[in-house]
Amino acid sequence: MPKYRIKVDKETCIGCGTCAALCPDYWEIGDDGKAQLKGGVTELVVEELGCNEEAKDSCPVNAITIEEVTE
């Protein structure tokens, strides 16, 4: 069963809020005004992508990346 590593690059993020609006179960804007995954982390491994793919595709600066974890 593949898993996916979701990451946000806070240096690149402009804090537009699109990811949090489209995928609020996973994304929020942190105290620094930048996107983070729920729990305040910048990286998360999940089995189901759900709305994260839409969040990634909608980010205007491509700050979100998703890669398959093969191990």
6 contributes a contact to ligand SF4 by CB under 6 A: no
- Among positions 6, 23, 37, 64, the unique one binding ligand SF4 when judged by CB under 6 A: 64
Tell me which residue of 1, 5, 71, 14 sits closest to 41, measured CA to CA: 5
Distance CA 17, CA 15 (A): 5
| Number of neighbours of residue 7 by Cβ within 10 angstroms | 16
Q: Which two tokens stand for residue 47?
A: 């089995």
Q: Which of 3, 4, 16, 42 binds ligand SF4 (CB under 6 A)?
A: 16
CB closer to ligand SF4, 3 vs 65 = 65
Question: Residue 17 interacts with ligand SF4 (CB under 6 A)?
Answer: yes
Residue 63 binds ligand SF4 (CB under 6 A): yes
Number of shown-chain residues binding ligand SF4 (CB under 6 A):
14
